[in-house]
Amino acid sequence: MTSLKNDRLLRALTRQPTDVTPVWMMRQAGRYLPEYRASRARAGDFMSLCQNPDAACEVTLQPLQRYPQLDAAILFSDILTIPDAMGLGLYFEAGEGPRFKRPISSRADIEALPVPDVEQALGYVMQAVRQIRKELNGRAPLIGFSGSPWTLATYMVEGGSSRDFRKIKTMLYNEPETLHALLDKLSQSVTDYLNGQIKAGAQVVQIFDSWGGALSSAAFAEFSLAYLKRIAAGLIRENEGRQVPLILFTKGGGLWLEDLAETGADALGLDWTCDIGRARARVGHQVALQGNMDPAVLYAKPAVIRAEVARILAAYGQGAGHVFNLGHGITPDIDPSHVAAFFEAVHELSAR
């Protein structure tokens, strides 16, 4: 394997000093980039883009080609590949987001679900990881990812995106054992999936617990946190002679940072509702922190973006352990030149 020329991300995630604060962005390969829209038009639809390793590799590298400051690549794929591999029939309805042809509604449905063999059913993801690593040629580390069991379960039970989580919360309160059976199977699948990505070459992994914040504190502990802990304990933590850091991103998880820091993760992703300085005071002795600019700041003019970056850097303060990111994914209608202003500001204003 070629040596890594930019290890800022790996250093910051393990709380070692860096020359500047590393930066990457959730959904950095996506519709705000004209080159992505062109690749997507050539592929036809989003899942064809994910399932073709050449195309997935191409779009993963697009933001790194455009922005020299980027300190990481993130695998181009989706969290819903696991339920798709379990046979739920994923499709995307224009303007409606993800949908499943065969959602889960009963204990029998759950018992019939396979734990996918990742090299078989998700071999296209592993192949994309291998190819991206080769083409990155050490330019920056590659982040692999998965959804959390709870977040995947919301899509599988609701049949798609949801605002109120009516079906899955009815299951959670009426039949908790049924939901536990599903989360148990998903934890095994997520562990296998992330370990497969690590073996194929992912140098960092992030778990997107995007809907953890929809739960009460008690339900979060029982139906999300417990499974995050189990996954953290089952992951490969060292590969190619280096630590493979684990980042946990629970959107809306600011109230539970102390609990999240106890899971065994190396870093916590923060959404924009928490103050990163206060978060550091609570858990910075245990974990690195990633975040946390409001993605909507990127609608503002470059001088405002720069001031907001300065504010967040100052709130974190001096010392190691900060990875700059947005508090959630970038939205499709952002001007790519505003993203350039964002990345430039992070490196310029954090130079030590």
Contact footprint for ligand CP3 (CB under 6 A): 26-31, 40, 46, 74, 76, 78-80, 97-98, 145, 161, 208, 210, 251, 329
Least Cβ distance, residue 207 to ligand CP3 (angstroms): 10
Task: Give the integer Cα–Cα distance in Å for 250 and 266.
Answer: 14
Enumerate the known binding-site residues for substrate: 27-31, 78, 155, 210, 328
Active-site residue identified among 15, 27, 139, 306: 27
What are the b/e assignments for 221-246, b being 16+ CB within 10 Å?
ebbbbbbbbbbbeebeeebeeeebbb
Please give the single-letter amino acid code of residue 299.
Answer: Y
- Respond yes or no: is residue 78 known to be catalytic: yes
Least Cβ distance, residue 218 to ligand CP3 (angstroms): 23
Backbone angles phi, psi at 10, to 5 degrees: -65, -35
Half-sphere exposure of 21 (CA within 13 A, CB side): 31
Burial of residue 132 (number of CB atoms within 10 Å: 0-12, 13-18, 19+): buried
**Region class of 221: left (phi > 0), else alpha (psi between -120 and 50), else beta:** alpha
Task: Give the integer Cα–Cα distance in Å for 219 and 250.
Answer: 14
- Respond yes or no: is residue 91 known to be catalytic: no
Active-site residue identified among 7, 71, 78, 271: 78
Task: Give the integer Cα–Cα distance in Å for 21 and 18.
Answer: 7
The nearer residue to ligand CP3, 227 or 306, going by C-beta atoms, is: 227
Least Cβ distance, residue 293 to ligand CP3 (angstroms): 15
- Respond yes or no: is residue 31 known to be catalytic: yes
In sequence order, which residues have a C-beta less than 8 Å from that of residue 184 and are 6 or more positions away? 227
Preceding amide of 239 cis, omega within 30: no
| C-beta neighbour count of 28 within 10 angstroms | 27
The nearer residue to ligand CP3, 26 or 194, going by C-beta atoms, is: 26
Active-site residue identified among 15, 40, 230, 280: 40
Active-site residue identified among 32, 67, 155, 193: 155
The nearer residue to ligand CP3, 65 or 161, going by C-beta atoms, is: 161
Least Cβ distance, residue 80 to ligand CP3 (angstroms): 5
Tell me the residue nearest to ligand CP3 as measured from the CB.
210
Least Cβ distance, residue 29 to ligand CP3 (angstroms): 4
The nearer residue to ligand CP3, 208 or 256, going by C-beta atoms, is: 208
Least Cβ distance, residue 23 to ligand CP3 (angstroms): 14
- Respond yes or no: is residue 117 known to be catalytic: no
Please give the single-letter amino acid code of residue 79.
Answer: I
The nearer residue to ligand CP3, 189 or 284, going by C-beta atoms, is: 189
Least Cβ distance, residue 95 to ligand CP3 (angstroms): 7
- Respond yes or no: is residue 155 known to be catalytic: yes
The nearer residue to ligand CP3, 15 or 326, going by C-beta atoms, is: 326
The nearer residue to ligand CP3, 2 or 161, going by C-beta atoms, is: 161
Enumerate the known binding-site residues: 27-31, 78, 155, 210, 328
Positions annotated as catalytic residues are: 27, 31, 40, 78, 155
